[in-house]
């Protein structure tokens, strides 16, 4: 199978595995003891991360044994810095949402290639949001979006909403008065957020607090493939497979909103 087919297969099957594990855990849990419930959530989250990581690494060893894999749950492989092909994966993005029964967790599978002309050099990407029965891949037809003057909807982290939100809302409402008051929607995984934009349930996601490459690589690929604007918070392109794996900030949105949001963030 080609790289796109492999990425889609791994995202789909890992999502199915995670849903099966969670459903099994729910069937075994009982009682209303809060301490027991908290422990059960912690165990489910750690088991989900482990099971998904083990499955993916087994599959890469079988299907792409010569490629380097960079994963949140694995060793930060130094060989990647001289490699021409690096899979950047997050076996379970949104562990907290997964372990507490939420639907906004995802599986991220992306391939960075040194010779790729694509933005951020991501040539292949698939994102599964299994609890929503969504699977997004870069080799699928582009999701066509038509602005329809509905309210602008901004997705933010559930745990760390950006402090710049009021300034961004003010600028957007001034620039697009016909769209009415801006709505803010908390959501978990980056993959789930990008999926929500592609499904026309949101328009903007930005994070000024920082995260890591595996949080972003696959969602970035499917966002760019479908015509969304992807930059840092001052409008610059994103580099991946760096020595420092931290990504300081990100803005993913409808292209017509980019300049207004960057202006708000630059002047804040």
Residue 239 clears pLDDT 80, i.e. is over it: yes
Fold of 3-137: Fructose-1,6-Bisphosphatase; Chain A, domain 1 (3.30.540)
Q: Is the pLDDT of residue 196 over 70?
A: yes
Per-residue pLDDT, 46: 76
* pLDDT band for position 209 (cuts 50, 70, 90): confident
pLDDT at 48 over 50: yes
> What pLDDT, on a 0 to 100 scale, did the predictor assign at position 45?
61
> How far is residue 229 from each of residues 184, 221, 225, measured CA to CA in Å?
19, 11, 10
pLDDT confidence of residue 258: 95
Is residue 165 scored above 90 in pLDDT? yes
Do the domains 153-267 and 3-137 match in fold?
Answer: no
**How much is the pTM?**
0.89
User: How confident is the model over 210-221, as pLDDT tens digits?
Assistant: 889 999 999 999
pLDDT of residue 266: 81
Structural domain spans, the chain: 3-137, 153-267
**Residue 38: pLDDT over 60:** no
Q: Which uninterrupted H or E stretch holds 128?
A: strand 122-129
DSSP 84: S
Number of Cβ within 10 Å of residue 255's Cβ equals 11
SS3 category, 34 = helix
Q: Hey, how many other C-beta atoms are within 10 angstroms of the C-beta on 140? A: 14
User: Given this model, what pLDDT does residue 36 score?
Assistant: 44
CA distances from 93 to 104, 174, 189, 191, 241 (A): 9, 34, 5, 8, 18
Q: Which CATH number is 153-267 given? A: 3.40.190.80
CB 227 within 8 A of CB 251: no
CA distances from 27 to 20, 22, 34, 95, 181 (A): 11, 9, 17, 19, 43
C-beta of residue 174 within 8 angstroms of C-beta of residue 166: no
Task: With beta carbons less than 8 A apart as the criterion, state whether 110 and 137 touch.
Answer: no
The larger pLDDT score, comparing residue 191 to residue 76, is at 191
The packing angle between helices 3-28 and 34-63, to 10°, is 160
Tell me the mean pLDDT in the region 123-142: 95
d(Cα 265, Cα 165) in Å, to the nearest integer?
A: 9
Confidence of residue 143 (pLDDT cuts 50, 70, 90): confident
Other CB atoms within a 10 A radius of the CB of residue 186 amount to 11
Which two three-digit tokens encode residue 237?
A: 């392109």
pLDDT exceeds 80 at position 29: no
DSSP letter assigned to residue 152: P
Q: Beta-carbon neighbour count of residue 181 at 10 Å?
A: 9
């Amino acid at each position: 199978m080609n790289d796109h087919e492999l990425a889609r297969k791994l995202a789909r099957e890992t999502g199915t595995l995670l849903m099966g594990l969670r459903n099994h855990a729910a069937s075994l849990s009982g009682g209303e003891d809060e301490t027991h419930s908290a422990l059960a959530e912690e165990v489910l989250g750690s088991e989900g991360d482990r099971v998904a990581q083990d499955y993916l690494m087994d599959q890469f060893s079988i299907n792409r044994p010569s490629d380097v894999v960079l994963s949140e749950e694995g060793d930060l492989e130094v060989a990647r810095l001289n490699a021409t092909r690096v899979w950047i994966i997050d076996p379970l993005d949104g562990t907290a949402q997964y372990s507490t029964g939420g639907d906004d967790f995802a599986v991220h599978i992306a391939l960075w290639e040194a010779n790729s002309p694509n933005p951020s050099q991501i040539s292949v990407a698939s994102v599964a949001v299994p609890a929503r029965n969504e699977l997004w891949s870069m080799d699928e037809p582009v999701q066509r979006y038509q602005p329809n003057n509905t309210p602008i909807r901004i997705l933010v982290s559930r745990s760390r909403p950006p402090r710049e939100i009021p300034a961004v809302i003010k600028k957007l409402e001034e620039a697009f008065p016909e769209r009415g008051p801006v709505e803010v929607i908390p959501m978990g995984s980056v993959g789930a957020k990008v999926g929500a934009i592609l499904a026309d349930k949101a328009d903007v996601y930005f994070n000024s607090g920082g995260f890591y490459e595996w949080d972003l690589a696959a969602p970035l690929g499917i966002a760019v493939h479908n015509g969304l604007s992807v930059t840092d918070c001052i409008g610059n392109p994103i580099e991946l497979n760096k020595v420092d794996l931290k990504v300081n900030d990100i803005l993913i949105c409808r292209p017509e909103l980019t300049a207004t949001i960057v202006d708000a963030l630059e002047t804040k």
